[in-house]
A and B are shown apart, each in its own frame.
Chain A
């Protein structure tokens, strides 16, 4: 440090606070997750501390030859999961989550699921909407509620409601009531349970009732109970990355990447969410992504999100060097990935490599019923009122063909005949290739497509 320079040292130990140092030209001169240590010209700087949606800003002047230090920055990050060092944790909720997880750990099942709806500390603590919560049911791959899925446990005084069970590994849905946006429509959210692991879904209870779109999902080894006061750094990193994904921002630091490489043994969801966060940034992350993916494939083989991540990584790498992404050899997927951006990636791969999504599977069928509800793959429920997704698919394909017809100044019938590339339509409409092919066949058979 020269005599005209100064030093800024900022740290939020044990937390995942984003720290940004901005100079007098509003240029970011330093960014870090949990710590920043930078030499700068003497001057006035704006410091930003961000944890999830919570932001604090301040101006500081640093004179030549001086050091500005703030080593215990704390910006309370809200979190659906009741983990340490967040602004919304609650001892009772930590307790019940740990207890339920211990119960699963002591069973002889092959995988387990805990769903905990809870009031967040610091919020208005609305009453638990028993109707809405009890209406949230865990169902099988076909959308049929499991026996006992209505057996929620409520604790009004402490503001939580829970459901848990040991289950066979594989695909399930968390069926929930909709928000006011989709009145009287039930929604289904993808849940994949891995052999040898517990999955814990933490749902914030708000003034609008249980808000599944804001859920945090953690994992722990089946026979090791989840403990919110251990692995705090890993848990916070997962929550910070989730907040970033909700905003469409990449919140991953180099230190977090190292954490991903090691913490994956304890919480594969950190690896999955962390990779999504890494790939959200345009910078080259290919080597790190490759290593983490390899490790995850050993830990949770067959998880539908892994194939999606592999394709996202290939798209990312291809775009950087200006080539088309090359479809990878992937085991056909019959269950939608848990993360929505992963499902979107699989749809794009399926457009290029038909059969990636198994024809007739849930992964194919739900595409037309997708619902934008945050980070998790969610669609309009198939039971009890089956939604006629086939007609939705056909309408969407028809609408796109109309756009093609307009662009080329031809009739829709001619567009259907001469310019209906299933791969192009699949990518443009976010529908599986098999669905598009069926829709085109339906349109071919229709008598009045050119009306």
Chain B
């Protein structure tokens, strides 16, 4: 359990003034589940503030001005968790060393005229006659406030939203008083779904809404639940940033628009999500290996970690090889000569999704 970890989770699907999303609330609910899991974030339930509208309420939002959640609710949630940690640390100073704030947001977003990224609230309005994008959380200003006050030792922000430039939409900081000096040196990490001035996406060919996720959040959650574990089982901002980049790149490969997450990390001060020593449990994916028509011989599967034999082999004459593999890089070695060699030298990658590999 991490009793000094707190979180604000924001998920917004319904935007009467822009365009509804399908998966933002699923993403937020899944992140909340990870926060509360004993083998995940390990937060007590009372430490997690959720800012989302019920589906029943959403159906009644006919126009932006009456829609929620709004910036007011987000500010209220942030104030609640900030007050909670301040009270905790006041009683027990050493709790500051274990304190952390998570902020997760999934919804529409922009890169405002003077900031890095702003998550739009449900009452944002893209109507050119109105254009009130300004009802937003400008992430860099909010994180600057938290660093400036230093109430949490660590602040981790994940923003699964677009960062398209909106020329004249200003980003606004939190309505909380500045602190003359920070309580302590806050280590802050921010993961953006995409680079500045570009869009983040959710899949549109969704068959099962319950399983689908935005690309960034899928990579984030897969990473936090084992995908980003190092050989020692540790998951840090370093390993997570690498994993998310690979996952999102794989998920958006071949799509009309690729997406590149942005998560700069200070290698000297990584934030730890899972300590070393916990056995690493990498995700497995269903992989189908297809062979050239003129190859009927045997193949062996080689681990990309150290080029050792996995012990798995197949006879190409039996057709495509369907196998469950842990995420990673692999090599297929042909036991007999292959005319022209296998495509890609027989090397392939497994991450984020089931794979069809044409050798």
Contact = CB atoms under 8 A, between A and B. Distances in A.
Contact of B134 (A59, A371, A399): A399
Given A27-B242, A320-B185, A403-B175, A61 B195 contact: no
B40 interface: no
Interface in B152-208: 165-182, 184-186, 188, 192, 195-197
Given A27-B230, A46-B329, A372 B165 contact: yes
Nearest to B184: A322
Which bracket fits the contact residues of B?
35 or more
B353 interface: no
Nearest to B114: A430
A248, A344, A372, A404 pick with most chain B CB within 10 angstroms: A372
Contacts of B266: 281-283
B351 A282 contact: no
Interface of B is mostly: loop
Nearest to A428: B173
B111 interface: yes
Interface stretch (B13-21, B52-60, B71-79, B209-217): B71-79
A46 B349 contact: yes
Nearest to A407: B175
A169 B174 CA distance: 40
Interface stretch (A37-45, A111-119, A257-265, A303-311): A37-45
B269 interface: yes
Given A320-B185, A423-B178, A24 B172 contact: no
A247 B264 contact: no
Given A44-B330, A372-B165, A372-B166, A25 B349 contact: no
A40 to B, nearest CB: 11
Interface residues of A, number: 60
Given A25-B230, A247-B196, A281-B264, 9 more contacts: A23-B305, A26-B328, A61-B304, A182-B168, A323-B185, A370-B114, A421-B177, A429-B170, A430-B114
Please name the 3 residue pairs, one residue from A and one from B, whose CB atoms are nearest each other, closest first. Answer: A322-B185, A44-B304, A428-B173
25 contacts: A24-B304, A24-B305, A26-B227, A26-B247, A27-B239, A43-B303, A43-B305, A63-B307, A182-B167, A247-B195, A247-B197, A248-B192, A282-B269, A319-B147, A319-B185, A322-B186, A324-B182, A372-B112, A400-B172, A403-B71, A419-B177, A421-B177, A424-B177, A427-B173, A430-B114
Interface of B: 71-72, 75-76, 79, 111-116, 134, 141, 144, 147-148, 150, 165-182, 184-186, 188, 192, 195-197, 227-231, 238-239, 242-243, 245-247, 260, 262, 264-269, 302-307, 327-331, 344-345, 347-349, 351
Interface of A: 4, 22-28, 41-46, 59-61, 63-64, 181-182, 246-250, 280-284, 319-324, 340, 344, 370-374, 380, 396, 399-400, 403-404, 406-407, 419, 421, 423-424, 427-430
